[in-house]
């Protein structure tokens, strides 16, 4: 399978649509089991990548859930983080004494979630946990606990199911490996 857009092409499917959907259902069950008796769970999606994952996840939840979003930037239009995490959209729901789960599409270096946890802890939540669809622990540069993980993956650049390169491929229902294309005359 090869799908090509501008400077990247999909070379293969890493995680099928069926496997993604099955794991999302399982994660919803795991979270519900851990949060049994919780009066309200606030799920904070990290934009833009986590929006697809979060929307599917909450549709399987049977406990009271509130949703908010936070948006950061550290990648720009690059495939590697600059290392500098900036908050460009903050949450609107007060989280003091609330149970909060940060929902992330992928954890790579860990810097973004580490920074977000530092920020949100200052707002005194009752609990603050992380749920990531994908985790690349081999790339971790900061100590980080991830309470709920969908899939641990090798160090590939991946797209689909909300993940993108230059705002492309977010709409794919599966996770795929993407590689830079070479144009004629380039090596």
Q: Tell me which residues are annotated as active site.
A: 108
The SS3 call for residue 177 is strand
160/158 Cα distance (integer angstroms): 7
Is-contact 100 129, C-beta < 8 A? yes
Bond before 48 cis per omega within 30 degrees: yes
Angle between helices 17-34 and 51-59 (to 10 degrees): 60
CA separation for the pair 25, 97 (Å, rounded): 27
**Would you call 7 helix, strand, or coil by DSSP?**
coil
Pair of tokens at residue 100 = 């909060």
- Encode 37-62 in three state secondary structure: CCCCEEEEEEECCCHHHHHHHHHCCC
């Amino acid at each position: 399978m090869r799908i090509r857009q501008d400077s990247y092409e999909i070379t293969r499917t890493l995680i099928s649509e069926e496997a993604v959907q099955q794991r999302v259902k399982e994660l919803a069950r795991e979270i519900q089991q851990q949060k049994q008796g919780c009066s309200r769970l606030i799920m904070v999606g990290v934009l833009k990548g986590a929006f697809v994952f979060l929307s599917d996840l909450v549709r399987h939840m049977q406990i009271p859930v509130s949703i908010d979003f936070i948006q950061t930037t550290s990648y720009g239009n690059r495939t590697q983080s600059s290392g500098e995490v900036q908050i460009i959209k903050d949450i609107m729901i007060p989280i003091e004494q609330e149970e909060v789960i940060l929902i992330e599409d992928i954890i790579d270096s860990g810097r973004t979630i580490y920074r977000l946890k530092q920020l949100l802890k200052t707002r005194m939540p009752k609990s603050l946990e992380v749920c990531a669809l994908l985790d690349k622990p081999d790339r971790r540069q900061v100590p980080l606990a991830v309470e709920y993980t969908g899939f641990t993956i090798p160090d590939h650049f991946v797209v689909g199911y909300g993940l993108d390169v230059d705002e492309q491929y977010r709409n794919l229902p599966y996770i795929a490996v993407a590689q830079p294309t070479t144009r004629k005359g380039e090596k």
